[in-house]
Amino acid sequence: MAGEGATAKPDAALRLPAAPVHAVCIDLDGTLLDTVPDLAAAANAMLVEIGRPILPQEQVARFVGKGSDVLIRRCLDATGGGADHASLLADARTRWYAHYQRLNGRHARLFPGVAEGVADLRDQRLALACITNKPGLFVPPLLERFGLGAAFAFWIAGDTLSVRKPDPGQLLEACRRFGVAPRSVVAIGDSANDAAAARAAGMPVYLVPYGYNEGAPVGSVDCDGIVDSLAVFARALRRSG
């Protein structure tokens, strides 16, 4: 859950990419924003409507990271099963989408260092993209609500392509749109999911320790470094330039 994870390395000790960095791909849930309060509220509203018990927010946090369909399936499995029944899953999905559209951003918050880090990266003339497994319907209003919409050249959501993280497809599509090779694009996320996608894409990847990672710490995840915040990463990158 948010706030748990490995202790970050000092930014001065970061192993920064050897190739010049031209762009940065940043994850959304658990990296830019703590969205679990809204995700859990929508999940519990859905569960109540179908006659299921509600779940603690901390448990729902462990279900986040692989997209809304996986979140819904895990909520059903945790409250009596039935995720393999197409009609129940479709009904639960429709209800969750309706509730989350109403709640999206209401109780979410920016993680510390996000606003400063994004501003610093842009000041360094780096192109930014938001790459998320969240359905595209929810991405623009969430970014706009927290003043991040104009910071990103584009976003790629969980339903933009036929694949999503940990598949590298979203990140490779971002590199195509940026017009640069993967080795010159850095990925920043909060999970093994993000790291696996970046590794498969041939991109350097850094993780923040405060996100979700399905409830597990990120200390043992294969990545190029763990940073306390986006601001820490941006400062380190500026000093290396």
| pLDDT 10s digits, 32-61 | 999 999 999 999 999 999 999 999 999 999
What does the pLDDT average to over 178-206? Answer: 98
Look at domain 11-34+108-240 and name its CATH class: alpha beta
Element (H, E) at 76: helix 68-78
* C-alpha count within 13 angstroms, C-beta hemisphere, residue 77: 11
What is the structure's pLDDT at 4? 43
What is the structure's pLDDT at 2? 53
27 is catalytic: yes
Element (H, E) at 201: helix 192-201
What does the pLDDT average to over 201-228? Answer: 95
Are 234 and 126 spatial neighbours (Cβ–Cβ below 8 Å)?
no
Quote the DSSP letter at residue 48.
Answer: H
Say which of 11, 27, 34, 120 is annotated catalytic.
27
Residue boundaries of the structural domains of the chain:
11-34+108-240, 36-103
Assigned CATH for 36-103: 1.10.150.240
- Nearest residue to 65 via CA among 197, 193, 173, 226: 193
Confidence band, pLDDT 50/70/90 cuts, at residue 84: confident
The answer to whether residue 145 scores a pLDDT higher than 60 is yes
Indicate the average pLDDT of the chain: 93
- Residues constituting the chain: 241
